[in-house]
A and B are shown apart, each in its own frame.
Chain A
Amino acid sequence: MYLNIRFLIFLLLGTKTGYTQTSRQIDTTATILDTKRLNQPSDHRDYGTYFEFNYLWPVAGDDYFLKEGYKIDSGIGVTIGTSLHNITLQGEVRVATGQVTRPELVGNALSSTINRYSVGLGYVFYITDRFAIHPSIHYGGLVIRHTFENGSSRNKVRDDGYFIGIKAQVNYELLSWLSITAGIQQNIDRLAIEAPVEEDDFFSNGTFFTPSVGLHFRIPRRNKIPSAPGDGIFSRRDGL
């Protein structure tokens, strides 16, 4: 019920304010029970909140201790974002793990977890009704937790830093509330590790390239709809 009503409101508002991407005809009168529209390319994509769940394949750049001394496993990313018109603002958490393969280069940890927390700003370009390209820039914190064997227990040590990144993602809309995504992100890492001069750059500066695939869920907006008297049909005449 909410979805239908919201959908109708968007159609009306979108037409009124000129947000629609294409010049296709939109009925200004639609019935609440027009459920068929829910599975069509959404017209209210210009604003709203969304979640994304991504599967990541991070690859560290050369001359970086996370590249030379680790085997980085795949990771996961969770994004929550909001869009206004085509601009998106997002918060993202990405986690990947790595096994130490060359302890002589990076210290004798067993494994490490690479955590990234970032905010991002992006813009959505709609190529077709269902297909969009979404570039964004990101800035955030980077925390690497190292695990050590200590008898029967384990200890953790951390390295902290920050990163900036650019991401390009493509979205294909399957349903009005669900899209599949594929993206690549390039990060520049700056870690606050104090190391001998010879290895300072090796431990402090590096890059990360991360391809990803995932799912994008749009959260329905819950607008307050004024009750419409009569036949259950909204139209421009109702002043919406």
Chain B
Amino acid sequence: MKGIEIVMVCMCLLAINCSGDPILNNKRIAINVDVLDASGAVEGIEVNVEIFRRGSVSTIFPGVSSFRGVIGTGITDETGNVRVLSFAPGNVDSVAVIVNGDGDDIGVNSNYNTVFTVLSSLLSDDVNLPAVTLSELANFNIRVENSSGTTDTLSFQLDYENPIQFVDSDGDLEELNNIEISETQTIEDPRFEITAESLQGTTLTFTYELRNEMLVESNIVEIPIDTQNITYVFEY
């Protein structure tokens, strides 16, 4: 019995020892990034280096503590460049360089979206990231109205660009940037409204089907988001 206890204690100590610190002692890194918009360099944009580590779920071996926090921060100069001097991430699950926000506060500059560059590893202590292009934000409002009084069932789906974008360390957009909203509209609910945020210069896709017992009508409507506020009314 005593032997088992000793083994348990040893495993605990080993787990603690192997967990490593989320932030390294005696080390700093620099991350360089240029921030642009459609017209060129953008000054005064906040850039943060945030790390995240999932904690241990085991209550027997609580060797890994969770951590989430900003370890470096900076603001772009007039050329759109920022050199973020940061503490160095240690044993973490992910490192993200977040342009125009951090994990808690998205869109510090409310004119622009937020871009996460997710780094799988840091190959040097002086990292140059691909330039990040910010897009201007847009608000859209979609109203669905049953003005004909039909008892047909409306099913529709909205696809639009997520204002929070994720790019990899090569600057390529991750696949999860699109947002999809699906809704089935019935006669009890003749009016429906959706308000959300997307990016200017993108397209909102509205796909719908009208059915009673069989398909009555279906279509795909593409709505360009070219101004800051867009309203679209779908009547049936």
How many chain A residues touch B (Cβ–Cβ < 8 Å)? 27
- Complex contact A108–B67 (CB within 8 A): no
In the bound complex, residues from chain A placing their C-beta under 8 Å from that of B107 are: none
- Complex contact A107–B85 (CB within 8 A): yes
Q: Can you name the residue of chain B whose Cβ is closest to the Cβ of A105?
A: B85
- Complex contact B125–A195 (CB within 8 A): yes
In the bound complex, residues from chain A placing their C-beta under 8 Å from that of B84 are: 104
Interface of B is mostly: strand
CA distance A176 to B67 in the complex (A): 55
In the bound complex, residues from chain A placing their C-beta under 8 Å from that of B71 are: 107-108, 148
CA distance A191 to B69 in the complex (A): 25
Residues of A within 8 A of B (CB): 103-109, 146, 148-151, 155, 157-160, 191-199, 203
Residues of B within 8 A of A (CB): 21-30, 48-49, 66-75, 84-87, 125-126
In the bound complex, residues from chain B placing their C-beta under 8 Å from that of A148 are: 23, 69, 71, 87
CA distance A177 to B68 in the complex (A): 53
- Complex contact A150–B125 (CB within 8 A): no
Contact of A157 among B21, B68, B74, B75 (CB under 8 A): B21
CA distance A197 to B84 in the complex (A): 14
Known: A104-B84, A108-B70. A157 touches B23 (CB 8 A): yes
Nearest CB of A to B48, in Å: 8
In the bound complex, residues from chain B placing their C-beta under 8 Å from that of A109 are: 87
What are 29 inter-chain pairs, A to B, with CB distance below 8 A? A103-B73, A104-B75, A106-B85, A107-B86, A108-B48, A108-B69, A108-B87, A150-B68, A151-B66, A151-B68, A151-B69, A155-B67, A157-B21, A157-B23, A158-B25, A160-B25, A160-B26, A191-B26, A193-B28, A195-B27, A195-B30, A195-B125, A196-B28, A196-B29, A196-B126, A197-B126, A198-B30, A198-B126, A199-B28
